[in-house]
């Protein structure tokens, strides 16, 4: 057993930020990212020492309850959190740009960062109804980014916008360019949001709960669309969700977050087959299973309690107050390290090798 931060594989890659150990297939390499916010009651840490990588053509899912730090992690990568001193970020976020150079996004001037948003890295936000400007047509909003980043004229930008709407499966795409957000259904707005995010062919797409509030049929269509686009473009993707059923459908690797920290990280099949963090086990238990439909098994198990307040986090494992396997004097004394238990499977639990998981 090893206790350390997950290593960064591969040889050095040179960029404006200096030599960094970044594998040739990696598009994003996040190291020790910490994000804190200043509040009237003092500083709170929303993301605490998070590290992970995303390779070309790979999907990494960020999973956890509301308040676990998933969305703040994504906003921190894009530097969309409030400027200091309202928020403070530390660590490194290395991105391989389209020209092959590697840049630390947290160290770039804001002007350079603006040039990378929407081109090298783009984002599908949680709720398209509030993410689109209600005063402008869908076509104008998609074309704006194309004109700014690609330097195309108005007609060419609108032609490209029509191509994108057609690519994401919106019928009568050219006519839909003139629609306002409120004139489209939830599924169509989500597709339009994906089209806008893909307008400049990003190497990395961050999808923040893109299927939330959609019915299961539209949800399946959106997932199929993202899979198809990823296969065609080989873009890397970070998929943020609390739905483990969606994770099984789309992810290659999974990173489970709780109270701002990574508590388990593994390839999707091993994590679903043999989770080793009690929090992950609790999340999987709460997912309805089709193979048990019709059996009288009572209500789905729920994790007791709530995510701890960021103003007063527990001194030890943050999940300890809710964990049925916690042991006084061990779990409540210090924050466990992230341990590698084999096969690039990492767990933050001092008892992962002691618990009888067949009964857990």
Contacts of 271 (CB under 8 A, 6+ apart): 254, 256, 264, 280, 345
pLDDT digits (tens, 9 = 90+) for 10-60: 333 443 334 456 777 899 999 999 999 999 988 999 999 999 999 999 999
pLDDT in single tens digits along all 360 residues of the chain? 444 444 433 333 443 334 456 777 899 999 999 999 999 988 999 999 999 999 999 999 999 988 899 999 999 999 999 988 889 999 999 998 767 789 999 999 999 998 888 889 999 987 777 788 999 999 999 999 899 888 889 999 999 999 999 988 889 999 999 999 999 988 888 889 888 988 888 999 999 988 776 778 878 888 888 888 888 888 999 999 988 888 988 999 999 999 999 999 999 999 999 999 999 999 988 877 666 555 666 677 888 888 888 888 899 999 999 999 999 999 999 999 999 998 889 999 999 988 877 655
Give the whole-angstrom CA distance, residue 178 versus residue 172.
11
- Integer angstrom CA distances of residue 354 from 12, 276, 277, 351, 358: 38, 10, 11, 5, 12
For the chain, the structural domain boundaries read 2-120+202-347, 129-201
pTM (predicted TM-score): 0.87
* The predicted structure's pLDDT at residue 360: 59
Query: At a CB cut-off of 8 Å and minimum separation 6, what does 332 contact?
Result: 314, 315, 316, 317, 320, 326
Identify the CATH homologous superfamily for domain 2-120+202-347.
Answer: P-loop containing nucleotide triphosphate hydrolases (3.40.50.300)
> Residue 331 corresponds to which tokens in the numbers above?
């779990």
Do 150 and 201 contact (CB within 8 A), yes or no? no
* pLDDT digit string, tens, across residues 211-256: 776 778 878 888 888 888 888 888 999 999 988 888 988 999 999 9
């Amino acid at each position: 057993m090893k206790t350390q931060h997950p290593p960064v594989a591969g040889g050095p890659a040179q960029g404006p930020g200096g030599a960094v150990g970044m594998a040739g297939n990696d598009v994003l390499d996040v190291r020790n990212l910490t994000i804190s916010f200043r509040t009237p009651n003092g500083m709170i840490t929303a993301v605490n020492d998070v590290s992970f990588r995303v390779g070309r053509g790979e999907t990494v899912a960020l999973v956890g309850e509301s308040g676990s730090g998933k969305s703040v992690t994504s906003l921190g990568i894009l530097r969309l959190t409030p400027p200091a001193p309202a928020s403070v970020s530390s660590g490194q976020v290395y991105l391989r740009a389209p020209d092959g150079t590697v840049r630390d996004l947290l160290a770039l001037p804001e002007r350079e960062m603006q040039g990378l948003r929407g081109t090298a890295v783009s984002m599908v936000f949680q709720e398209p109804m509030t993410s689109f400007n209600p005063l402008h047509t869908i076509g104008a909003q998609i074309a704006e980014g194309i004109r700014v980043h690609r330097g195309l004229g108005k007609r060419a930008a609108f032609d490209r916008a029509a191509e994108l709407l057609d690519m994401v499966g919106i019928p009568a795409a050219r006519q839909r360019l003139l629609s306002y957000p409120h004139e489209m259904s939830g599924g169509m707005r989500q597709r339009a949001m994906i089209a806008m995010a893909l307008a400049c062919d990003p190497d990395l797409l961050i999808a923040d709960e893109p299927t939330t509030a959609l019915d299961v049929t539209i949800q399946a269509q959106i997932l199929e669309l993202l899979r198809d686009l990823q296969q065609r473009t080989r873009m890397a993707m970070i998929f943020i969700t609390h739905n483990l059923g969606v994770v099984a459908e789309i992810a290659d690797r999974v990173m489970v977050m709780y109270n701002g920290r990574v508590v388990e990280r593994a390839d999707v099949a091993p994590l679903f087959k043999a989770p080793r963090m009690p929090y992950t086990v609790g999340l999987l238990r709460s997912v309805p299973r089709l193979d048990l439909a019709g059996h009288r098994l009572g209500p789905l198990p729920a994790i007791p309690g709530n995510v701890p307040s960021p103003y007063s986090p527990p001194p030890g494992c943050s999940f300890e107050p809710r964990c049925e396997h916690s042991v006084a004097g061990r779990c409540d004394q210090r924050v466990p390290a992230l341990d590698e238990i084999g096969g690039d499977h990492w767990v933050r639990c001092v008892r992962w090798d002691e618990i009888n998981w067949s009964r857990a």
